[in-house]
Structure 1
Amino acid sequence: MPEIPMEYARGKLMVASFLTLVASGIGFATRTAAGGPWEREFNLGGGEFGAILGAGFLGFGLMIFFGGILVEKFGYKKLLTIAFLLHLVSAGMLFAANPLFAGWQETDPENATSNVFSVLFWSAFVFSICQGLYEAVINPLIAQLYPENKTHYLNILHAGWPAGMILGGIFAACFIGENAWITELPWQYGLASFSIVVIAYGVMALPEKFPETVGETAGSFATIFSCFASIPFLVLIVLHGLIGYMELGVDSWMTKLMENLLPNSIIILVYTSFLMFVLRFFAGPIVHRVNPIGLLLGSSVISCLGLLWLGSPIQSVAMIFVAATFYSFGKAFLWPTMLGVAGERYPQSGSVAMGALGAVGMICVGQIAGPRIGAQQGYELSQHLEESAPETYARYEGSEPTSSWGYEYTPLDAAKLNAANGIEVDSGTVETAAIEEAKLIPEEEKPALIANAATDVPAVQASYLFGGRRALTLTAYIPGMMAIGFLGLLIYFRSIGGYKVLRFDEELGKAVPIEGHGHGESESDVVDSEAATSF
């Protein structure tokens, strides 16, 4: 990898790259809090909400891989400029949703909900394309700007994601939804707030000069694809898909799964994001003392136990936060440390190796984790309510059965479920205003719901809580599988003399070990050249 001349303002480029993830985190956090307003205004159900969340990752996964190839071909700056413009387009689509829905209600009321779903879906998809382009640019850029300590600076870079989720989560808690701490604003303002940060990093980064990519200097463009000939790299790809499923899949549903447990469930996402933000700044010293594969193994075990704890029947709010703290220690280092491993072991592959990992992780979230966790929660909710309160289930049952990821069930009516979840029952009385004012509940069905609210609402909320807990418990096997995979990699690296950091030697045309970089290994830093470059 070429030396980085002093002419590059790497501190400014680092901050701008950090801000791209802040913008992405804000958009992610605010979107996860939009389920309630969308249910009330557009009659969108849990499956449609999950599909929109999934769209927020699908484009990310596709673009981060192909974007990595494009980065190596066209350079960092052109791709960053395209992402900047598309991000603003995504924000504009959010403001178009309500006027379009109002028009469709007059001209095509039967398809108004499905039409506005398409607008929100494609807005999230465009947003995710921007995220993919950012990741395709900033991961190899920072690895190239800081070749002496890639894993540490990649962890600091990816602290921007939880920083954005903190800002977006606080904004959502204050201004999005019926339980907003200050006042409920139109949801569009919350979801489009990321555009402020987009403009900030655009002003900061786009005038700057960027270094050349590995693909522009390696001599042979085919060199950057050599990572795919490595079996350990293919194992890393599978493991990163599981990381995406667990970390971002759970984060996508955290606020929905924790409803009825906390006064405003967005605070659990803010809290875990804060912990992740802080912990990622300390990844460098940890990785220098511990083999990064060992860190990934330990993080997987902690994540598994944390999800089991969060899925248990916890009653105390304090214990929920203790369990969330434990889980956060597990998930904090996984994503950026994996990117660091790709950068350290496959420097000749530039952005393609990192892009391949990110692509699989995001596609797994968008196409598997989001919809599957939603299906698990909906199935467990419906089954529990049908078994525990069949009469209540009959009143709240939706009209159409669904089949998703092996789960066949009839979900609850989204408007009725949202109204029931918005009612406070701790006082001993059940206020029915949420049901009376719900525009999307048929008027002829409201009298029965109001008359039975005293028994129905607690039953619905209890089943909703049960479904959320079961979804978290069922997700715990994912980090368990990750732990097995990282254990296998740990054994493999031990067998070849330990985990060593490599650099791309342009004269030799291959990756070679960097002397003195073994991440806590006690073995000699001199490794067999063939073993070092054959994976």
Structure 2
Amino acid sequence: MEHVNKNRLFLASCLALITTAMTFAIRARLETVFGPEGMGLTLEQLGYAFAPAFFGFTIAMIIGGPLVDLMGIKRITWLAFITHTIGIVLTLLADSMTSLFIATLFIGIGNGFVEAALNPMIASMYSEEKTKMLNRFHVWFPGGIVIGSLIGWLTMDVLGLSWEAMVSTLFIPLVFYGVLFFGQKIPITERLQLGISNKDMFKSVLKPLFLFMVCCMFLTAASELGTTQRIESLLKESVTAPLLVLAFINGIMAFGRMFAGQVVHKLKPSGMLLYSAVFTFIGLWMLTMTTGGLTFVAAAIFAIGVTFFWPTMLGFVAEYLPETGALGLSIMGGAGMFSVSIVLPIMGNLMDNASAAEALRTMSLLPAILIVAFMGLHLYMRRQVKTSEV
């Protein structure tokens, strides 16, 4: 990795992910700005307006995965910067469901290009410790949500500033990551380093184990992001400041991902995923029954559960299915975000016509399914290890 400034590239990557994550927290706060008590959109309409954040992400990742090898990581990173900039500006100009939809689409595409480019870059730079470093990188997804949540709370709820002032803070990490990436030599992907052909890469994404992980990614991402993206509406009857609960959840997640290396060593990726599913299910079920201070207890259990979901799913594929390359990581991320775009309107409909508790009970079915799936995966991986040792 000659002439590659790993530390600068890793810092730039973290700032790009902070930009991505802050859009999630700020969008959660915008729910009350554009919702029934603000500009008059129903919660279901908001679900549709916010859905492009996730299917736009999916489009960018599915397109960006193959393009990372063809165009290079650097060009995809600059596409992320450009679409992020356009999305932030359009959000500031949004005044209807349609304009919010278009703005959110550009931000979603920018977020997708960040993941499409930077997950394989980090896997390439740290090929001997992929799961550990992908978890370190993904510290800044919950970390950025904490930052965005606190900014949203401080600017609007404490200082009484406009929602436009809150959205404008996204320019700060955006400019910093652009400056840090500027002029840097960026490595090629691990697949190209290993000499794996395009044909073999496309064949590898049809392997049963990879397809199983894609199906599980639908459920892990929806469990985490479907819940946190609608936190304002889900918990508005339970606590006075739902954004602080969001910050609390993501603070726990950031702390946990910092120490992912030790957990990976003890549990292995499949074990981490199984325990994550158990805690996520318990946390979601508890959130249906708690109010006040106890909401934070339930939120802590939920946070412990979802902490390792996203980066460990990516780490598992990078470690055990490296021949899938950037395409494999992009399909995984894209599948996760696409699932959230489906879940958001469904949750909105449940909250409009039933209750927030009913929406949470429905969401708890997803980690319940994952407990069974990951138990099977864990047993399968243990058998694989024993077979290889014989």
TM range (shorter): over 0.9
Deviations 1:214-266 (A, max 9, x none): 45442622222232231011100000010111100001111211113222211
What is the alpha-carbon distance in structure 1 between the residues aligned to residue 186 and residue 286 of structure 2? Answer: 46
Query: For residues 262 and 191 of structure 2, what CA distance do their matches in structure 1 show?
Result: 31
What amino acid does structure 2 have at the position aligned with 1:54?
Answer: A
User: 1:114-169, CA deviations, whole angstroms, 9 ceiling, x for partnerless residues?
Assistant: xx211111100110001110100111110110111110110010011111111110
| Structure 1 counterpart of 2:351 | 377
Who wins on radius of gyration, i.e. which is larger? Answer: 1
Q: Given the superposition, is the C-alpha separation of residues 219 and 272 from structure 1 closer, same or farther in structure 2, using an over 3 Å criterion?
A: closer
Amino acid at match of 1:325: A
What is the aligned length? Answer: 388
Whether 1:226 and 2:203 are equivalent positions in the alignment is yes
Specify which of 258, 268, 273 is matched with residue 296 of structure 1.
Answer: 273
SS in 2 for 1:33: helix
- Report sequence identity in percent: 28
**Is residue 353 of structure 1 aligned with residue 328 of structure 2?**
yes
Larger relative helix fraction: 2
Q: What's 1:14 paired with?
A: 10
1:264-279 equivalences under 5 Å are: 264-279=241-256
Give the TM-score of the pair, scaled to structure 1. 0.70
Residue correspondence of structure 1 range 295-444 to structure 2 within 5 A: 295-312=272-289, 314-315=290-291, 317-366=292-341, 368-380=342-354
Q: Does residue 61 of structure 1 match 2:58?
A: yes
Query: What is the deviation of 1:20?
Result: 1.0
Q: CA deviation at 1:210?
A: 0.4
Q: Distance in 1 between matches of 2:352 and 2:183?
A: 48
Offset at 1:473?
Answer: 1.4
Contact 2:68 2:76 in 1 (8 A): yes
Q: 2:118 corresponds to which residue? A: 138
How big is the shift at 1:369?
1.2
Stretch moving more, 245-254 or 218-227: 218-227
Query: Aligned ranges for residues 171-190 of structure 1 at < 5 Å?
Result: 171-176=151-156, 180-183=157-160, 185-190=161-166
Q: TM-score, normalised by structure 2?
A: 0.96
- C-alpha separation between the residues in 2 aligned to 1:247 and 1:144? 27
Q: Which has the higher contact order (CA 8 A, sep 6+)?
A: 2
Aligned to 2:127: 147
What is the alpha-carbon distance in structure 2 between the residues aligned to residue 487 and residue 215 of structure 1?
30
Which segments of 5 or more consecutive residues in structure 1 lack a partner in the other structure? 99-115, 381-466, 499-522, 529-535
Question: SS at 1:63's partner residue?
Answer: helix
The 8 Å contact of residues 246 and 369 in structure 1, kept in 2 or not, is answered as: no
Mapped to 1, the partners of 2:231 and 2:38 lie a distance apart of: 22
Instruction: Give the secondary structure class of the aligned counterpart of 2:23.
Output: helix
Q: How far, CA to CA, are the matches of 1:291 and 1:252 in structure 2?
A: 29
The answer on whether the counterparts of 2:124 and 2:188 sit within 8 Å (CA) in structure 1 is: no
Which whole-Å CA distance do the structure 1 matches of 2:360 and 2:15 have between them? Answer: 30
Q: Secondary structure at 1:348's aligned position in 2?
A: helix
Contact 2:196 2:323 in 1 (8 A): no
Deviations 1:82-115 (A, max 9, x none): 11111111111122225xxxxxxxxxxxxxxxxx
Shift of 1:491: 2.0
1:225 & 1:13 partners in 2: Cα distance?
28
Give the equivalent residue in structure 1 for 2:136: 156
Name 2:381's counterpart in structure 1. Answer: 493
- 8 Å contact from structure 2 (residues 121, 188) kept in 1: no
**Offset at residue 527 of structure 1 (A):** 5.3
After TM superposition, list the pairs within 5 Å mapping 1:455-470 onto structure 2. Answer: 467-470=355-358
Give every structure 1 segment of 4 or more consecutive aligned residues whose post-TM-superposition deviation is greater than 3 Å. 214-217
**Distance in structure 2 (CA, Å) of the matches to 1:41 and 1:235:** 42
Tell me the amino acid that sits aligned with residue 481 of structure 1: I
